[in-house]
A and B are shown apart, each in its own frame.
Chain A
Amino acid sequence: MGKLKTWTVTALLVLSLASGVWAQQVDEALFKKIEANLMCTDGCGMYLAACDNTTAQRMRQQLRERLLAGDTEQQIYAYMISIYGEEVMAAPPKTNFLNITAWVLPFLGILGGGMVIYIAVDKWVFHRQGRRAEKPDAEDAAELAAYEEILNAEMKKYF
Chain B
Amino acid sequence: MADIGYLALVLALAVSLYSTAGFLLGARSGNQRLLESAKGGILAIAILVNVSSFILIYFLVTSDFSIKYVFQYTSINLPTFYKFAAFWAGNAGSLLLWMWILSIFTALVAFSRQHRDDRSLPYVNVVLLINSIFFLFLLVFLANPFERTGIYPVPTEGNGLNPLLQNPGMVFHPVTLYLGYVGFAVPFAFAMAALIVRNADDQWIKVTRRWSVVAWMFLTLGNLYGGQWAYVELGWGGYWGWDPVENASFIPWLTGTAFIHSVMIQERKDMLKTWNMVLIIVTYLLTIFGTFLVRSGVLTSVHAFGNSSLGTMFLVFLGLMTAASLYLMLDRSSLLREGREFESYISRESSFLLNNLLLVGSAFAVFWGTIFPLVSEAVRGVKVTVSVPFFNQVNAPILLAMMFVMGVCPLIAWQRSSLKNLRNNFLWPMVLAVLFGIVLYVLLPVKRFIPIFALAVNFFVLVTIVAEFVRGTLVRRRMTGEGIPTAFWRLVTRNRRRYGGYLVHLGIVIMAFGIIASHAYKLETVRTVEAGETITIGDYTLGFNGLRQRPEGENTVVYADMPVTKNGNYVGNVMPEKIFYATWDQPSTEVGLMGGLKEDLYVILSTWDKEGTEATFKVNVNPLVSWIWIGGYLLVIGTIFAVWPGRGSQLGPKYTREVSHHG
Contact = CB atoms under 8 A, between A and B. Distances in A.
Contacts of A85: 382-383
A32 B234 CA distance: 20
B361 A128 contact: no
A98 B235 contact: no
Contacts of A91: 385-390, 393
Contacts of A43: 300
B606 A52 contact: yes
Contacts of B235: 52
Interface residues of A, number: 47
Given A45-B302, A102-B386, A102-B390, A52 B340 contact: no
A139 B344 CA distance: 22
A128 B342 contact: yes
A90 B389 contact: yes
B354 interface: yes
Interface residues of B, number: 56
Contacts of B584: none
Contact of A143 (B234, B243, B618, B657): B657
B610 interface: no
Contact of B398 (A46, A110, A140): A110
Interface in B371-398: 372, 375-376, 379-380, 382-390, 393-394, 398
A65 interface: no
A79 interface: no
A90 B373 CA distance: 11
Contact of B340 (A92, A98, A102, A127): A127
Interface string B117-151: 00000000000000000000000000000000000
B353 interface: yes
B364 to A, nearest CB: 5
Contact of B236 (A51, A105, A107): A51
A113 B360 contact: yes
Interface string A120-159: 0111110110010000000110010001000000000000
Contacts of B529: none
A45 B293 CA distance: 14
Contacts of A36: 388-389
A78 to B, nearest CB: 15
Contacts of A87: 383-385
Contacts of B368: 102, 105-106
A24 to B, nearest CB: 14
A9 interface: no
B119 to A, nearest CB: 29
Output the residue of A37, A43, A46, A127 with the most chain B CB within 10 A: A46
A49 B524 CA distance: 11
Interface in B251-307: 271, 300-302
B263 to A, nearest CB: 17
Contacts of B343: 125, 128
Contact of B376 (A39, A49, A99, A106): A99
A99 B389 CA distance: 14
A96 B341 contact: no
B302 A44 contact: yes
Contact of A102 (B344, B372, B618): B372
A147 B384 CA distance: 68
The DSSP consensus for interface residues of chain A is helix
Contacts of B648: none
Given A87-B384, A110-B358, A110-B361, A50 B236 contact: yes
Contacts of B341: 124-125, 127-128, 131
B374 to A, nearest CB: 12
Given A51-B236, A113-B361, A123 B388 contact: no
B342 A106 contact: no
Interface in A28-49: 32, 36-37, 39, 43-47, 49
Interface string B354-373: 10011011101100110010
A103 B394 CA distance: 7
Contact of A37 (B357, B376, B389, B662): B389
A59 to B, nearest CB: 14
Given A45-B300, A121-B342, A125-B342, A98 B379 contact: yes
Contacts of A107: 394
A139 B661 CA distance: 12
A44 B236 CA distance: 14
A70 interface: no
Given A121-B345, A127-B341, A140 B379 contact: no
17 contacts: A45-B300, A45-B302, A49-B388, A52-B618, A87-B384, A92-B385, A98-B380, A103-B394, A114-B357, A121-B342, A121-B353, A125-B341, A125-B344, A125-B345, A128-B343, A139-B657, A143-B657
Given A110-B398, A125-B342, 16 more contacts: A36-B388, A36-B389, A39-B387, A50-B234, A50-B238, A91-B386, A91-B387, A91-B393, A102-B368, A103-B394, A106-B361, A106-B398, A117-B354, A124-B342, A125-B341, A140-B657
List the 4 closest A-B pairs by CB distance, nearest first.
Answer: A106-B365, A50-B236, A91-B390, A110-B361
